[in-house]
Structure 1
Amino acid sequence: MGDVLVTGGTGNLGRIVVAKLREAGHDVVVLSRRPQPGHSVRGDLRTGQGIPAAVAGVDTILHLATAPRGDAEACSRLIAAAIEAGGAHLVFTSIVGVDRIPLRYYEAKKECERLIETSGLPFTIQRATQFHALVFRLFAAQRRMPLLVAPTCDFQPVHMRDVADRLVEHVSAGPRERVPEIGGPEVRSARSLAQSYLAAANRRRKIAAIGLPGRIFAGFRAGANLTPNHADGTLTFEDYLDERL
């Protein structure tokens, strides 16, 4: 068994984190429901099957796995298994604004934070702003529409590599509990990001800026998803587009 167990290690962020951990000299095991190439162990956070064996003997658990539903339940199962195994350092990735934007997905992340903080385990909770990839998908999903719709709010997208670097630091440093948030290097209007997307994709389309009703969009409009005092990311949205397109 390795010294670091990574849940969600086959996802977009997880693959980057696993590679960086191994580069830093850590013995990393990836938790997966299905057999994976490399050093992996089978376990299912949805049911708890295989989780006690997966966490046994590890020093750090890096919890990156996420799902539209069942995040809190999965986190609770992981915590219970970690406590039973002796109390590994649990590193959790969350999102800036989970306590101020009433999205169901965000509320589940907030509940995971609460479960971890009250578990008695040594822990580190890292909140990050939205990834460049999420903003990209927002625009790319509209590629067949006559207009490109951009919400009337700002984003501070961060590159997954910047977040991965921070997470590797936490594994090496040990428990820090709540650490400063990490955001991308720039706070940008959605319209500005849409313009950069169109330019990089070499497309000409009008941009329609729209506001949406409700408490969720009000949170974004108020900047609850931003952390301008922690603009620690180094890679801009244009850097991401250069890689992606």
Structure 2
Amino acid sequence: MNKLIELEWRKLQRKKVFGELIVYWVILMFLPVFFLKVVLAESPLVEFGNSYTDALSLMLPIQMGFVLFGASLINHVFIEEYKNKTMTLSFGYPISRKTLVMAKVQFIFLAVFLCTMISFVLAGITTYVFDRFIDVIDGKPSMADLMNFTVRTIIHSAVVALASLIPLFPFGIWRRAVIPTVICAVFLIQLHNLLGLLRITLNQDVLYAVLSVLGAASVYLAVKTINQLGDV
């Protein structure tokens, strides 16, 4: 399995993907400060700047932006290979299709997971540095805040990685369509805000648990039906 995952890494258009990745990192590392200092500064009902614990509640949905990166990887790893007919070649290997799909899925999961973790660290450092100069968050981070940030970084990175796989079955393998995959990812990123506009109150952790289950279900369906969906 490790060799198959490594093969996916070698086949990837790395310069293109790294360029896209850098854009995500740069934007998301400054977004928490931008929201605290500009967007939410004049809102008396917003309490994200009251402490580092409250600020973390703002950072979690911001890092959902990497769901879009997962959609991009689905395009590179699945959709483009179907369109270029290289998927048919891959299915000709003396390895089961289900094993090949699982290798591709694991590659996407690990890539999104690790990149989201790095983004969390970059955003955390940037927010702390800016806070020292322009005072966007009240107080200083405690050891408990740092431990909470570390735990939430790991858990939420896994959530983002699973959520990014939700478009895999319906749009990556079944329909093999790029635009619906991207639209689905954008919808997932904005889901928390859309629920707020509809006055639907849903605990953030419950929402992320549901997204994780949907991502796992999409993977299950993709692996389960890969032999029936054809090569083209």
TM range (shorter): under 0.3
Give the helix-richer structure, 1 or 2.
2
Normalising by structure 2, we get a TM-score of: 0.26
The answer to which structure, 1 or 2, has the higher relative contact order (CA under 8 A, 6+ apart) is 2
Normalising by structure 1, we get a TM-score of: 0.25
